[in-house]
Structure 1
Amino acid sequence: MKLKNVELETILANMVQEIDFSGVIHVENDTGVIHTSAHGFCNRSDAIPNTTNTRFGIASGCKLFTAIGICQLVERGSSISFHSKLSNLLDHSFPLFDEEVTVHQLLTHSSGIPDYFDEDEMEDFEELWVKNPMYHMRELEDFLPLFQKQLMKFIPGEKFYYNNAGYIVLGLIIEKVTRVPFTDYVEEHIFKPAQMEESGYFSLDSLPAKTALGYIDKEDGTWKTNSYSIPIKGGADGGAYVTAGDFAKLWQSLLNGKLLSKEMLDKMMTPWIQTNNDNDYYGYGMWMEKAEDKIVKYHVMGYDPGVSFASAYYPASETIVVIPSNKEHGPHKLMYLLEDRI
Structure 2
Amino acid sequence: MQKLFLLCFTVLLSITSNAQHLDQKIDSLIKNEFKEANGPGGVFLIAQKGKPVYKKAFGMANLELDAKLNTNSIFQIGSMTKQFTAIAILILEEQGKLKVSDPISKYIPSYPNGNNITIHNLLIHTSGIKDFTKMKALSDIAQKEMTPEQMVDFFKNETVDFAPGEKFDYNNSGYVVLGDIIELASGGSYEDFIQKNIFDKAGMGHSYYASDRKIIKNRAFGYHKKSSGYVNKTIINFSVPFSSGSLMSTLDDMLAWQNALNKNLLLSSKEETKAFTKYKLNNGQEIEYGYGWHLKNINGIATREHGGSIFGFKSMAVYIPSKDIYVVGFSNCDCNSPTQLVKDIAKLAVENLKNK
Residue 10 of structure 1 and its aligned partner are, at CA, apart by 1.4
- Other-structure match for 2:12: none
- 1:253 maps to 2:260: yes
Q: CA shift at 1:280, angstroms?
A: 6.7
Match of 2:237 among 207, 231, 236: 231
Deviation track 1:172-229 (CA, whole Å, cap 9, x = no partner) reads: 11100111110110011000000000111131132411111111111x141222242x
Q: Does 1:263 align with 2:270?
A: yes
Asked if 1:42 corresponds to 2:54, the answer is no
Q: Which one is further off, 107-116 or 139-148? A: 139-148
Shift of 1:62: 0.7
Stretch of structure 1 that moved more, 301-310 or 53-62:
301-310
1:298 is paired with a residue whose SS is strand
Bigger Cα displacement from structure 2, 103-112 vs 19-28: 19-28
* Residue number in structure 2 paired with 1:196: 204
In structure 1, give the amino acid aligned to 2:108: L
Gaps of 5+ in 2: 1-14, 36-40, 351-356
Deviation of residue 291 (structure 1)? 6.8
> Following superposition of structure 1 onto structure 2, how do residues 75-224 of structure 1 map, counting pairs within 5 Å?
75-78=94-97, 80-91=98-109, 93-94=110-111, 96-118=112-134, 128-129=138-139, 131-132=140-141, 134-218=142-226, 220-224=227-231
Give the corresponding residue for 2:28: 14
Deviation at residue 11 of structure 1 after TM alignment: 1.7
Q: Which amino acid aligns with 2:303?
A: K
Q: Quick check: which has more Rg, 1 or 2?
A: 2
Q: Which amino acid aligns with 1:306?
A: G
- Answer whether contact 1:27 1:322 (CA < 8 A) is retained: yes
In 1: Cα distance, 2:268 partner to 2:133 partner? 34
User: Against the structure 1 CA distance between its residues 204 and 182, is the aligned structure 2 distance closer, same or farther, given a 3 Å change threshold?
Assistant: same
Residues 161-180 of structure 1 show CA distances to partners (whole Å, capped at 9, x for unaligned) of 11101011111111001111
Residues 244-266 of structure 1 deviation map (CA, whole Å, 9 limit, x = unaligned): 11011101101111011010111
Query: How far has the Cα of 1:3 moved from its partner?
Result: 8.3
Q: TM-score, normalised by structure 1?
A: 0.88
- Aligned mates of 1:224, 1:128 — CA distance in 2: 22
Q: 1:215 to 1:280 in 2, by over 3 A?
A: farther
- CA 1:204–1:97 in 2, change beyond 3 Å: closer, same or farther? farther
Instruction: Give the Cα separation in 1 of the matches to 2:286 and 2:278.
Output: 11
Q: Percent identity?
A: 27
- Aligned 8 A contact 1:204 1:227 in 2: no
RMSD: 2.4
Indicate how the Cα distance of structure 1 residues 256 and 325 shifts in structure 2: closer, same or farther if over 3 A, else same: same
Change (3 A) 1:171 1:337: same
Task: Tell me, yes or no, if the aligned pair for 2:42 and 2:57 is still in contact at 8 Å.
Answer: yes
Take 2:146 and 2:160, find their aligned partners in 1: how far apart are those partners? 26
State the 1:2 CA deviation: 11
SS of the equivalent of 2:128 reads coil
Aligned to 2:79: 60
- What are the superposed Cα offsets for residues 81-103 of structure 1, whole Å, 9 maximum, x if unpaired? 11100112224x32x43521001
Report runs of 4+ in structure 1 exceeding 4 Å deviation: none
Q: C-alpha displacement at 1:61, in angstroms?
A: 0.4
Task: Return the structure number with greater helix share.
Answer: 2
Would the aligned equivalents of 1:37 and 1:52 in 2 still touch at CA under 8 Å? Answer: yes
- Tell me how far apart the structure 1 counterparts of residues 301 and 152 of structure 2 sit (CA, whole Å): 36
Displacement, 1:231?
A: 2.8
Q: Secondary structure at the match of 1:135?
A: coil
Do structure 1's residue 286 and structure 2's residue 293 form an aligned pair?
Answer: yes
Distance in 2, Cα, partners of 1:212 & 1:164: 24
- State the AA in 2 paired with 1:146: F
* CA gap 1:3/1:242 in 2 versus in 1, 3 angstroms: farther
